[in-house]
Amino acid sequence: MTHRKPNAWVVAGFAVVAGAVIGGGQAALEAALRPWRIGDFGPASLAATSSDAPVAEVPETRHEFGTIGTGAEGTHEFEIRNAGPKPLVLTRGATSCSCTVSDFESADGGDEGARKEVPPGGSTRVRLKWRGKGAGGPFRQQATVFTNDPRRPEVAFVIEGTVVPTWKAVPESIALPTIATGAGTHAEAKLFTFGTARPEVLELALADAQAAQFFELASTPLAAAELESEPGATGGFTISLRVLPGLPLGPVRQTIKARLKIPEDVAAELPVEGTVSGALALAGGAWDSSRQALLLGTVSGRTGSRTEVFLTAKGPHATAVKPTVREVLPGTLVVEVGAAKPVGDRGMVRIPISITIPPGSPPANHRCSDQGPAGRIVLDTGHPETPVFSIPVCVVIGP
């Protein structure tokens, strides 16, 4: 089979004619909002239709099924009637997900494949089957049926509801993005259950037993009001995680394993991910964390430039941090340290640092290469454990 490209002038001409037709009648057809094409008026809806064409009547295109368990199957039948004088030919179209399938009923009530002819005055049913997928939550899928009714060439049947899992963690994992060396932190997650009985925690443990000494775990049953936030939940726990000081620098990857009785035994897992980093860090558009360098780029010495970054301090000594500039390379950089301000309620502070290359600065090459070694800004911090903080600087000051 070969496809000929449509002549552009023909396409354009068609578009102009169609536009004229549409401009006249389309507005009246759509009072407020134009929905997705399928399931409503198709592209041929404005074409002249003869009175002897088949007429597809669909009493219901949307079914709300309530709730379904993960992996469980649901079915629903939609009716299509032929109110016209000619046979209505239906062809099964695509479903929006392979977790959903559609079929026409046959005379004996079974499935009948991809095509169905409905005589004038007759009707048939489209059966949708779906399987609750994923970790739970709102579920919406649709199946398309094509017709030879010129006014309604496509019909989309939609099923909507909620998939209810056996258990669900909110959030899905615990993230600990800001653990300062020598400091601890804490976090919580809610573990909702959807069984027939109030759940019981049979066991709560960490997968990596070697690192377990740095963590404390506790569970508290959720109150009735807290359960309301998760539709269909019948019970659950707040899992509290306390991270003790002493974890080594670098990534933290753990898994909380819970064995629950709801009433059957169920194993739930809650990943814990985080990073233990230094008490002091730099943040800003010019800070490249992969290279661990401040990238000021190539700057004209004639016009100069100004860049602002933030030094953040966290951990038990955060408020003690009061940086002063000890050393700057190239010496033409003007570094000013602003006042510290608290961020949030967990003891973090931010300190603005501005780096100015004044107009009239002499050329300098610190492009962070063999030919131009990195410059630096060295701060005395006041932090008892990190008294000096050095910031590599990549900059080329041109004419």
Partner 1 sequence: MNIVHTPTRRCPPAVLAATFALLAHGVAGAARPDRGADVTPATVETFTQRNGGVFAEWPNPRVLIVLTGELDGYIEPCGCTGKENQKGGLSRRQNFLRAVAGAGWPVVAVDLGDQVRRFGRQSEVKFQSIADGLRAMGYAGVGLGPNDLRLPAEELVAAVAPVGDQPTPFISANVGLLGLDANITPRFRVVESGGLRIGITAVLGAKQAAEITNDAVEVRPAAEALQGVAADLQKAGCSHQILLAWADPEESKALAASFPQFDIVATAGGADEPPATLPVLPGGKARLVELGHKGMFAVAIGLFADPQTPIRSQRVPLDARWGESSDMIRLLAAYQRQLESLGLSGLGLVPVRHPTGRRFAGSAACADCHQEAYDVWASSSHAKALTTLEEQTPRRDGDPECLSCHVVGWAPQRYEPFEGGFASAAATPHLAHQGCENCHGPAAAHAAVERGDVRASTTERDRLRQELVLSLDTPEGKQKAVNNCLECHDLDNSPKFDFDEYWPQVEHSETKTAAAAQ
Written as one letter, the residue type at 166 is T
CB-CB contact of 90 with 57 (8 Å): no
CB-CB contact of 152 with 89 (8 Å): no
Site track for partner 1 across 327-356, x = CB under 8 A = --------------xxxx-xxx-x------
Span interacting with partner 1, options 74-82, 141-149, 378-386, 391-399, rule CB under 8 A: 141-149
Minimum distance of partner 1 from residue 173's CB (angstroms) = 7
49/149 Cα distance (integer angstroms): 9
- Name the nearest CA neighbour of 136 among 159, 168, 158, 160: 168
Q: Using the rule CB under 8 A, which residue among 55, 88, 126, 156 binds partner 1?
A: 156
Establish if 30 lies at the interface with partner 1 (CB under 8 A). yes
Written as one letter, the residue type at 104 is F
Q: Which is nearer to partner 1, 120 or 271 (CB)?
A: 271
194/165 Cα distance (integer angstroms): 7
SS3 91: strand
Span interacting with partner 1, options 28-36, 49-57, 78-86, 359-367, rule CB under 8 A: 28-36
Minimum distance of partner 1 from residue 137's CB (angstroms) = 7
Contacts for 167 with CB less than 8 Å, ≥ 6 apart: 191, 192, 193, 194, 260, 262, 266, 268
Q: Using the rule CB under 8 A, which residue among 38, 353, 355, 377 binds partner 1?
A: 38
4/100 Cα distance (integer angstroms): 35
Q: Which is nearer to partner 1, 69 or 120 (CB)?
A: 69
The C-alpha angle with vertex 171 and arms to 170 and 175, in degrees rounded to 5, equals: 150
Minimum distance of partner 1 from residue 197's CB (angstroms) = 24
Q: Using the rule CB under 8 A, which residue among 58, 101, 281, 378 binds partner 1?
A: 281
309/285 Cα distance (integer angstroms): 7
Span interacting with partner 1, options 26-34, 113-121, 198-206, 324-332, rule CB under 8 A: 26-34
Q: What are the Cα distances from residue 273, in Å, to 242, 268, 269, 361?
A: 13, 16, 13, 46
147/50 Cα distance (integer angstroms): 15
Establish if 283 lies at the interface with partner 1 (CB under 8 A). yes
Residues numbered 285-314 forming contacts with partner 1, rule: CB under 8 A: 285-290, 310, 312, 314
Q: Using the rule CB under 8 A, which residue among 49, 67, 96, 356 binds partner 1?
A: 96
Residues numbered 111-130 forming contacts with partner 1, rule: CB under 8 A: none
Q: How many residues bind partner 1 (CB under 8 A)?
A: 94
Minimum distance of partner 1 from residue 19's CB (angstroms) = 6
Residues numbered 182-201 forming contacts with partner 1, rule: CB under 8 A: 185, 187
Site track for partner 1 across 225-264, x = CB under 8 A = ----x--------------------xx-x-----------
